[in-house]
């Protein structure tokens, strides 16, 4: 198989049809009938039960996958390998498997391409039921796999789109990571850890449940406050109900010390209650930066809305 894998900036003009599913660093030219999924990183044709799943793994993962992804190991997962190929790639060799698998919905055919590309190992799984073979011939599948590319970075806008709430104001904070459907971490410095002795961090998450009665919210907020990064001498200095963007909420403020340096840390937790769910916003910052960071934290908080 002639497999071409390259950085987005090196793509020829003809590759303008490459599609990147939202927030995925991996893209390809999907065969007609497949569209980018909004449910997972990849493409799908739900009418014919055809799916292409894209997974970005660490660059060091390829050697381990090549060693452990044996025919016997796949056989234990109900897969019968028909072909095993080592396509030539710009960064070295890749691994392509073609297999059959028995599932509860019937037999499917699967193409699995693992390709080391730059700093990641791209894994592309193209799976379809046998009955869809006429719609997606092998030549079309191989052409799609041969078109995979990795872009240098994923826009923050796409990552934030994976959250169940909108973040309309970042207040100059940098996006660290997104847990799709659950949470986002922002920071004011170069480090991605949650160490607040040198730089500020803001973590926003959403969870089901939450008390509906105002009298229960103080106890609930104090209990939720226990889920903080490791800190020493944590002391709550204030806990009170408030309105956040017109909705019932609760604020807890606290002081603590960094476990390694003993530096003074200031903390705020806001809970914003909705119907059947609540939003938790936790900000941590060095004491000397607190007045500025508290204002910026509030700006982010007030720009949060459910989708």
Q: Which residue has the higher pLDDT, 16 or 46?
A: 46
The dihedral region occupied by 23, where left means phi > 0, alpha psi between -120 and 50, and beta the remainder, is left
Residues 174 and 119 in one domain: no
Domain identity same for 146 and 167: no
192 and 248 fall within a common domain: yes
pLDDT at 9 over 90: no
Last residue of a domain, one of 102, 121, 150: 150
Does residue 113 lie in a domain region? yes
Dig out the tokens for 212 from the structure: 């509906």
> What pTM was computed for the model?
0.78
Residue 213 has a pLDDT of 82
Please indicate, yes or no, whether residues 170 and 213 belong to a single structural domain of this protein.
yes
Does residue 239 lie in a domain region?
A: yes
Judgement on whether residues 28 and 80 belong to the same structural domain of the protein: yes
Share of the chain above pLDDT 70, in %: 94
What is the domain-level CATH number for residue 102?
A: 3.40.1000.10
State mean pLDDT over 23-33. Answer: 94
- How many other β-carbons are positioned within 10 Å of the β-carbon of residue 78? 11
141 shares a domain with 163? no
Does residue 127 have a pLDDT over 70?
yes
Query: Same domain for 89 and 215?
Result: no
DSSP 8-state code for residue 47 = T
Number of domains within the chain:
2
12/110 same-domain check = yes
* Contact between 40 and 55 (Cβ < 8 Å): no
Residue 262: inside a domain: yes
| DSSP states of 70-131 | -HHHHHTTTEEEEEEE--EETTEE-EEEEEEEEETTEEEEEEEEEEEETTEEEEEEEEEEGG
Q: Could you tell me the residue range of the domain that residue 101 belongs to?
A: 6-150
Query: Does 5 or 259 have the greater pLDDT score?
Result: 259
- Give the end of a domain, one of 150, 182, 210: 150
257-285 tens-digit pLDDT: 998 899 999 999 999 998 889 999 999 99
Computed over every residue of the chain, the mean pLDDT equals 90
Span 142-197, pLDDT tens digits: 999 988 899 999 999 999 999 999 999 999 999 999 999 999 999 999 999 888 88
11 found inside a domain: yes
Instruction: Check whether residue 39 and residue 112 sit in a common domain.
Output: yes
Q: Are residues 181 and 143 in the same domain?
A: no
Rounded mean pLDDT, 206-233: 89
In a domain, 1, yes or no: no
Q: Phi/psi at 68 (nearest 5 deg)?
A: -95, -20
Residues 95 and 114: their CA atoms lie apart, in Å, by 5
Q: Are residues 20 and 84 in the same domain?
A: yes
Please say which residue of 115, 150, 185 terminates a domain.
150
The per-residue pLDDT for range 74-119, each reduced to its tens digit, is 988 889 999 999 887 766 788 999 999 888 888 899 999 999 887 8
User: For residue 292, is pLDDT > 80?
Assistant: yes
Tell me whether residue 38 is in a domain. Answer: yes
Range in 90-94, 131-135, 181-185, 249-253 with the lowest mean pLDDT = 90-94
260 inside domain: yes
Residues 91 and 40 in one domain: yes
Question: What confidence score (pLDDT) does residue 111 get?
Answer: 95
């Amino acid at each position: 198989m002639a497999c071409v894998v390259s950085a987005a900036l090196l793509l020829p003009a003809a590759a303008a049809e490459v599609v990147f599913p939202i927030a995925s660093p991996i893209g390809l030219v999907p065969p007609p009938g497949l569209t980018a999924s909004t449910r997972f990183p990849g493409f799908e044709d739900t009418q014919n039960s055809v799916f292409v799943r894209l997974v970005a793994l660490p660059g060091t993962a390829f050697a381990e996958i090549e060693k452990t992804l044996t025919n016997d190991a796949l056989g234990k997962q109900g897969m019968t390998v028909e072909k095993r190929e080592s396509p030539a790639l710009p960064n070295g060799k890749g691994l392509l498997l073609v297999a059959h698998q028995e599932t509860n919905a019937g037999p499917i055919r699967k193409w699995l391409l693992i390709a080391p590309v730059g700093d990641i190992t791209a894994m592309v799984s193209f799976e379809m039921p046998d009955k869809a073979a006429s719609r997606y011939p092998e030549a079309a599948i191989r052409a799609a796999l041969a078109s995979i590319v990795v872009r240098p970075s994923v826009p923050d806008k796409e990552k934030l789109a994976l959250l169940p709430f909108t973040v309309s104001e970042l207040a100059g904070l940098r996006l660290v990571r997104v847990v799709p459907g659950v949470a986002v971490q922002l920071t004011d410095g170069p480090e991605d850890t949650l160490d607040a002795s040198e730089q500020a961090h803001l973590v926003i998450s959403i969870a089901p449940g939450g008390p509906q009665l105002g009298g229960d919210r103080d106890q609930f907020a104090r209990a939720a406050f226990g889920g903080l990064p490791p800190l020493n001498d944590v002391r709550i200095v204030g806990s009170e109900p408030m309105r956040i963007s017109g909705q019932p909420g609760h604020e807890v403020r606290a002081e603590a010390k960094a476990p390694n340096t003993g530096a003074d840390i200031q903390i705020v937790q806001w809970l914003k209650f909705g119907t059947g769910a609540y939003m938790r916003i936790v900000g941590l910052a060095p004491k000397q930066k607190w007045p500025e960071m508290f204002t910026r934290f509030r700006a982010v908080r007030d720009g949060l809305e459910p989708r």
